[in-house]
Amino acid sequence: MKNILTILIIGAAVLSSCKEEFLDLAPPTNLSSATYFKTEAQFDQALVGAYETLRGMVAAGAYMDEMRSDNTFFTYYAADRGPANWVEDIIMFRDNPQTTVTNGRYRNNYTGIARVNAIVDRIGAAGVPEPAKNRILGEALFLRAFYYFDLVQHYGGVPLHLKDVVSVDDAFLARSSVQQVYDQIVTDLNAAMPKLAEATVFPQSGRATKGAAKMLLAYAYMSKPEKEYAKAEAELLDITKMKYQLLTDYASVFNPTNKNSSESIFEIQFQEGNTGQQSDFIYTFLPKTTNASLLVGLPVSTLSRGGWNVPTEELVKSYETGDKRLPASISVIQGTQTGDNFTYEVEKNVVGYTPQAGKTYRYFIKKFLNPPYQREFNTNDNWPVFRYAGAMLLLAECLVQQGKAASALPYINAVRARAGLPALTTATAENVANETRHELAFENHRYTDLIRTGKAIPVLTAKGNEMKRLYTFVPANAFEVTESRLVYPIPFRELQLNNQLEQNLGY
């Protein structure tokens, strides 16, 4: 099986055909949807293109999920008022239907769905061997469910495009309800499951597996309007019977040498190099400075890119004493501040850190920092989406919600043991949520976790009050967290193009 990092960009044009003898508008040397989707290799290449769209979700998730939550904030930079405002608005619940990041995420999801639908609609009639056909179809249906899950969590009910768009009439649909979108996610995953293989060899290829589908299905059951915890429990228990296991050391989970490891259920693939497949998100998370060489090993400026996703003081202080995940996840850089310019001097251990008189310090995310790098803004890190530790904690949450706290204890305590923490004697909704926060910190789960567990409004209102206390630049109308603001606006451009769409309340 080809690794999904083998990206082939396919230019496909869907054109109405005239009689062959009259006029052939498609040059015979160009690929088109009419001539391309024929062989297993061609469908596999198209499928890789559908995976590629996942990469666009990483940066959007940092702004729309992690920074929107109580885990992180940002560093105010007076010299960057224009480009930064639209990002800051998202973080402070002041976004609008023309915000670039929220619009881009919406469009990116539908790009992935369109690529999947082209595969699903064509593979049935193609001369592809049945085993390969099933594998490709299983992965495609998983991806479609994944993209729709991301859409429904962040925008509510959205149009359900389930076939390839080949006419104007197909392109413009009304919004389906939230329940209808979840129903389709469940349908796609149940159809995909028998066609997907279990992960048995590590490192994995990076493709979707039965375990990834079960994890996504469990999330769907626990996130939909009417929760179905018993069904989620069954899927998560199945995952515990597979070959996944926790790595011994928490920090090693995020080392590129352990990509697609036995702890990985699904991750977004990147590769360092000159082929355009590299990751670069760590540069966004580093403090702003003219020279980040102390941290990355290269003389590079992060003034235009850094200063985002900065861990909050509240998060740092919330870790239990002895939690190994704190120094593995967060570090401190100390230096001097002149106006807006911060000069690095030394990196410090976050555990027990005391600010030095006359010095400025910045917390930053360490768990994705794996220097030295060979090229600027070019790293080899994958992005974790589902990990086995997350599956164990989601199962613990699911069991507690059903009144099975005793059954939840082994799962939460296994995660705590790796973190160097003592076992709990009782599992509660509160301590499971707290454990999940620290285990999955900075992996773009916290915001949707708060929504799923019903804690978003009080927790994020409290964060807003604290940010207003700490920073004079936070507007008075920021952090007005209401039920309607827990989803993002439908992009203004989509409303203009499709008169069947209606905007979400509050925008």
Domain ranges within the chain, ordered by starting residue: 33-80+95-273+483-497, 281-372
**Residue that is written with structure tokens 């228990």 in the block:** 237
Residue 64 carries which DSSP code? Answer: I
Predicted local confidence at residue 31, as pLDDT? 60
pLDDT at site 28: 54
Return the percentage of the chain with pLDDT > 70, whole number.
Answer: 93
Distances (CA, A) of 47 to 34, 113, 170, 308, 416: 17, 11, 22, 33, 38
Identify whether the C-beta of residue 166 lies closer than 8 Å to the C-beta of residue 12: no
End-to-end CA distance of the chain: 46
pLDDT at 27 over 70: no
Band (264; pLDDT cuts 50, 70, 90) = very high
pLDDT at residue number 85: 76
Position 32 confidence tier, pLDDT thresholds 50, 70, 90? low
| Confidence bin at 291 (pLDDT 50/70/90) | confident
Residues 11-20: what's their mean pLDDT?
A: 32
| Nearest residue to 365 via CA among 432, 295, 433 | 295
Structure tokens at 491: 């992009």
Return the SS3 of 363.
strand
Q: Are 261 and 389 in contact (CB under 8 A)?
A: no
pLDDT digits 0-9 by tens, 133-145: 999 999 999 999 9
The stretch 464-478 carries a mean pLDDT of: 96
pLDDT in tens, 195-240: 999 999 999 999 999 999 999 999 999 999 999 999 999 999 999 9
pLDDT over 60 (residue 259): yes
Q: How far is CA 263 from CA 84, 211, 247, 476, in A?
A: 36, 11, 6, 43
Say whether pLDDT at 81 is over 70: no
pLDDT for the residue 33 = 61
Torsion angle, CA of 469/474/475/477, rounded to 10 degrees?
-70
- Residues 350-378: what's their mean pLDDT? 95
Q: Which residues contact 112 (CB under 8 A, 6 or more apart)?
A: 50, 53, 54, 143, 144, 146, 147
Residue 60 in this model has a pLDDT that exceeds 60: yes
Going by pLDDT thresholds of 50, 70 and 90, the confidence category of residue 255 is very high
Q: What percent of the chain has pLDDT over 90?
A: 84
> Cα–Cα distance between 152 and 163 in angstroms, integer?
18
Per-residue pLDDT at 16 exceeds 60: no
Buried/exposed 104-121: b ≥16 CB within 10 Å, e otherwise: bbbebbbbbbebbbbbbb
pLDDT in tens, 444-468: 999 999 999 999 999 999 999 999 9
| H or E segment and range at residue 148 | helix 130-155
The residue to which tokens 């005391």 are assigned = 354
Q: Which CATH architecture has domain 33-80+95-273+483-497?
A: Alpha Horseshoe (1.25)
DSSP letter assigned to residue 430: H
Q: Is the pTM of this model over 0.75?
A: yes
Residue 339: predicted pLDDT: 82
Which alpha helices (H) appear in 193-277, and where do they start and end?
210-223, 229-240
Asked whether the predicted pLDDT for residue 3 surpasses 50, the reply is no
**For position 30, what pLDDT does the model report?**
58
CB 302, CB 355: distance < 8 Å:
no
pLDDT at 304 over 90: no
Task: Give CA 101 to chain center in angstroms.
Answer: 14
Residue 267 amino acid letter: E
User: 3-class secondary structure for 269-318?
Assistant: CCCCCCCCCCECHHHHHCCCCCCCHHHHCCCCCCCCCCCEEEECHHHHHH
Taking all residues of the chain, what is their mean pLDDT, rounded to a whole number? 92
Q: Give, in order, the Cα–Cα distances in Å from 28 to each of 24, 31, 36.
A: 9, 8, 12
Structure token pair of residue 471: 């920073």
Which whole number is the average pLDDT over 17-35? 49
pLDDT at 107 over 90: yes
